[in-house]
A and B are shown apart, each in its own frame.
Chain A
């Protein structure tokens, strides 16, 4: 009896194991959606108090970089008509780094910048005084498509991240990837933005071409 048992094969047939595993693998491959939590962060302005009139901000026209996008997705950048947003990031960068009429603090800021950024200061009198004053304003209609708005907003962010990155000797991508979790990356992050606030203003859309 014992012999008979011993003779019987004890192994489970595992030849089809790979096939079964393949089937499961394909199932999970097809159902997987790798979660994407990436996006462009924006901080909305605080709620307006109806009892308090909106603060009357006096700003020189030269310190505001106006971008208008109409319901046909055409752009009006500083009074010039554009059909698309190409090259806008470079213009915004030039605008922010213009240093047309820097005050004392801005001169100190200018001197602290690396030479490659200093060289980009065009000092045009009709452009921004210094980065602390510069504001990029994006205004849309209600009929503007979200895609074009996001494209322009993306370019405005790119201009600032380029500046921050260049200031600390990183590329814009590397700068954005800084987490601020540890001391070193936090220090880099702060050094990048110090004195150059990311001032992108998104105006309330007006009621043209929408619902």
Chain B
């Protein structure tokens, strides 16, 4: 008996008084890093993977364009569509959209506008080349093919 008593007498509980503080720290981290989506994305987005990713220094110069099959084929059909801001636009409207986006930038940065193309994996090159032709017409020639990182295979 005495043996057992000895064992139980050692202190076993871990102090948990600092737990809320730790949790709060994590909470603040996630609160700060969270970006709530401002836009609903109307097209499918499975971003392809690549290895040679570059990060742009100035985020304000980037305008996003989403290309993919519409999520609601009953309303928008099953062909890949282009989404800019909140709406699906047709290819000829891209020039106008680019000019609007460019006007939002400060004068000095207007030539540096970068279009981030978030393209679904299953889209074919045809629609993409049409979009690129329009971007060339709009003189927005910096294009970022958005992709996620891939781990080297070798």
Residues of A within 8 A of B (CB): 14, 17-18, 21-22, 24-25, 28-29, 31-48, 140-147, 149-151, 153-154, 157-158, 161, 172, 176, 179, 181, 204-205, 209-211
Contact = CB atoms under 8 A, between A and B. Distances in A.
B143 A144 contact: no
A181 B20 CA distance: 40
A40 B125 contact: no
Dominant secondary structure at the B interface: mixed
A91 B26 CA distance: 47
Q: Is chain A's interface secondary structure helix, strand, loop, or mixed overall?
A: mixed
B54 interface: yes
Contact of A210 (B30, B116, B125): B125
A24 B27 contact: yes
Q: Which of A45, A146, A154, A158 has the most CB of B within 10 A?
A: A146
B83 interface: no
B23 A25 contact: yes
Interface of B: 16, 19-20, 23-24, 26-27, 30-31, 33-37, 48, 50-57, 59, 62, 79, 114, 116-117, 119-129, 132, 135-137, 139, 141-149
B124 A210 contact: yes
A40 B135 contact: no
Contacts of B16: 18
A38 B125 contact: no
B132 A44 contact: yes
Given A32-B33, A143-B126, 4 more contacts: A14-B20, A39-B53, A40-B53, A41-B54
A17 B19 CA distance: 10
Contact of B137 (A25, A37, A47, A158): A47
